[in-house]
Amino acid sequence: MESLPGFRDFEPSTCAQRNALFHGWRTVAQRFGFEEFDGPIAEPLELFTQKSGEEIVNQLFAFEDKGGRKMALRPEMTPSLVRIFGKNLATLKKPTKLFNITEQFRYERPQKGRLRSFYQFNADIVGEASLSAEAELIALAAESLRYFGLTEEHFYVRLSDRQLWQLWLKAFGITDEALVGGILSLLDKWERRPKEDIEKDLAKLLPSSVQAKTFFDATEQLRHCKTLEAIKACFSQQATDAELSEALRQRLSEFGKLLHELSALGCEKFVAVDLTIVRGLAYYTGFVFELFETGNQGRALAGGGRYDQLFEKLTRHPMPAVGFAAGDVTLTDLLNKYHLLPEYKRKIDVFCVFEETERDRALRCSQMLRRENFSVLYPFGETKMLSKQLKKAYVEQPRYILIFTQELSSRGKVHVKCLANETTREVGSEEVVEVFRRERD
């Protein structure tokens, strides 16, 4: 029987790779002082529909329990985070820096870089309105990739700002919230669809005062801006009133500060201003970013941004927050591509082989060594010839082989073979543990 579509089996070698990812993520998050938390793997369905709307249900593993409760496997961690920490926001330390490594589930068609069950590294800063939070999260995202040996040759951060986009639309007189959302979602698929289709959709959305063609060309120009100066120049081509100019000046100043802080954090090599990133869902309120392989092959390695209104929406209490998530599927693909995931090999310290009469003695010794934190194997079942046992022992490549024979026991000795230098020592039976303790140091 096979696993369900989009679900994976983790045999020892792939499980070890997965755990290596988890270890790296956890290590780096702790370096930044983020605290690990976790929540239930399933939540009330309502938690997800409140945040994302009813349409989300057909993308969820949603079902009813035997008590008729509507529930769903978690497709992301942010709603749980808001639920858990929204309970006592008033007493929450600010800022609170949180991370977790969770299995998540989305009912979608599996394809490259996307499965139905996957793991994500989530990091969030709650209770910090300043851009220092964005800077630190982007730095954390970059460091979590650097940890595995990836450099600016392999990946980069595309940094954008939904507030700039709102200002841009405002310059065209577009302020209606639903309309802004519609155009932002159009921006999200801008380069994946033919120009004519985009213009057609724009013509339907835009107020009659704005020509689709004009808007498209100007927006196309803004999308390609690589610097803040270019963005400023782009805006200045539009007729903007004093209020808008001042708002733009302030926002560009914030953007500049963020870039500056990222430089101080040693991330200038990784970060590119890139307004083509807007991110699909509407709850992002400010800076947004996505990490990609250089050349933009494949899906995003990580993505996130500021969501200052989500707490209020779900708990009625306002609370600024920024977060990102990085998935294991795209990262594993990338690391495999550059051979940055080591081959897994079980590490055994000691393999015991013994003559039939010495079995109990060998097992006693094995257990003493295990209690001293050494990994120890010995053959199971019917005792075979020493030569056969040794064959098995060598396959495991232990650091040492312990040999127990009747003849050695009669003299109170065992043999300790060191595979590294092919030497054999004769050691007193009672000293074995002490000898290994010394070896360890």
Q: Which residue type sits at 189?
A: K
Instruction: Identify the residue among 14, 32, 47, 59 touching RNA (CB under 7 A).
Output: 59
- Gyration radius from the chain CA atoms: 29
Sequence-separated (6 or more) residues with CB below 8 Å from residue 50: 79, 313, 314
Determine the Cα–Cα distance for residues 315 and 80; give it in Å rounded to an integer.
12
User: Does 6 interact with RNA (rule: CB under 7 A)?
Assistant: yes
Pattern of binders to RNA over 350-389, x per CB under 7 A? ----xxx--------------------------xxxxxxx
Smallest distance from RNA to CB 178, Å: 15
Instruction: List the interface residues with RNA, window 324-343 (CB under 7 A).
Output: 325
Smallest distance from RNA to CB 318, Å: 20
Determine the Cα–Cα distance for residues 436 and 397; give it in Å rounded to an integer.
17
Q: CB of 30 within 8 A of CB of 121? A: no
Beta strands, E only, 255-309? 271-273, 287-293, 302-306
User: Does 345 interact with RNA (rule: CB under 7 A)?
Assistant: no
Sequence-separated (6 or more) residues with CB below 8 Å from residue 80: 39, 40, 43, 47, 74
Angstrom CA distances, 258 to 145, 251, 421, stand at: 20, 11, 55
Give the binding-site size for RNA (rule: CB under 7 A). 53
User: Does 112 interact with RNA (rule: CB under 7 A)?
Assistant: yes
Instruction: Identify the residue among 253, 424, 430, 439 touching RNA (CB under 7 A).
Output: 424
Half-sphere exposure of 367 (CA within 13 A, CB side): 5
3-state DSSP helix/strand/coil % of the chain, to nearest 5? 45, 20, 35
User: Does 242 interact with RNA (rule: CB under 7 A)?
Assistant: no
User: Does 166 interact with RNA (rule: CB under 7 A)?
Assistant: no
Smallest distance from RNA to CB 120, Å: 9
Give the phi and the psi of residue 187 in degrees, each rounded to 5: -60, -35
Rank residues 7 and 338 by Cβ distance to RNA and give the closer one. Answer: 7
Q: Which residue type sits at 118?
A: F
Instruction: Identify the residue among 215, 303, 310, 349 touching RNA (CB under 7 A).
Output: 303
Rank residues 75 and 95 by Cβ distance to RNA and give the closer one. Answer: 75
Rank residues 255 and 289 by Cβ distance to RNA and give the closer one. Answer: 289
The most distant pair of C-alpha atoms in the chain lies apart, rounded to whole Å, by 102
What is the enclosing helix (H) or strand (E) of 414?
A: strand 413-418
User: Does 193 interact with RNA (rule: CB under 7 A)?
Assistant: yes
User: Does 274 interact with RNA (rule: CB under 7 A)?
Assistant: no
Instruction: List the interface residues with RNA, window 69-98 (CB under 7 A).
Output: 75-76, 78
- Binding segment for RNA among 102-110, 158-166, 248-256, 431-439 (CB under 7 A)? 102-110
Instruction: Identify the residue among 207, 280, 342, 428 touching RNA (CB under 7 A).
Output: 280
Residues in a beta bridge with 400: 350, 418
Q: CB of 70 within 8 A of CB of 40? A: no
User: Does 163 interact with RNA (rule: CB under 7 A)?
Assistant: no
Instruction: Identify the residue among 52, 160, 219, 285 touching RNA (CB under 7 A).
Output: 52
User: Does 111 interact with RNA (rule: CB under 7 A)?
Assistant: yes
Handedness of CA 41, 43, 48, 49 (dihedral sign): positive
Rank residues 115 and 135 by Cβ distance to RNA and give the closer one. Answer: 115
Smallest distance from RNA to CB 52, Å: 6
Helix (H, G, I), strand (E, B) or coil at 305: strand
User: Does 390 interact with RNA (rule: CB under 7 A)?
Assistant: yes
Rank residues 131 and 403 by Cβ distance to RNA and give the closer one. Answer: 403
User: Does 14 interact with RNA (rule: CB under 7 A)?
Assistant: no
Angstrom CA distances, 135 to 30, 39, 57, 138, 254, stand at: 17, 26, 34, 5, 12
User: Does 17 interact with RNA (rule: CB under 7 A)?
Assistant: no
User: Does 403 interact with RNA (rule: CB under 7 A)?
Assistant: yes
Angle at which helices 242-264 and 228-236 pack, to 10 degrees?
Answer: 170
User: Does 395 interact with RNA (rule: CB under 7 A)?
Assistant: yes
DSSP string, 340-374: -SPPP----SEEEEE-GGGHHHHHHHHHHHHHTT-
Smallest distance from RNA to CB 152, Å: 23
Instruction: Identify the residue among 394, 411, 425, 439 touching RNA (CB under 7 A).
Output: 394
Residues near RNA, by CB under 7 A: 2, 5-6, 48, 52, 56, 59-60, 75-76, 78, 106, 108-112, 114-115, 185, 188-189, 192-193, 279-281, 299, 303, 325, 354-356, 383-391, 394-395, 397, 403, 405, 408, 415, 417, 419, 422, 424
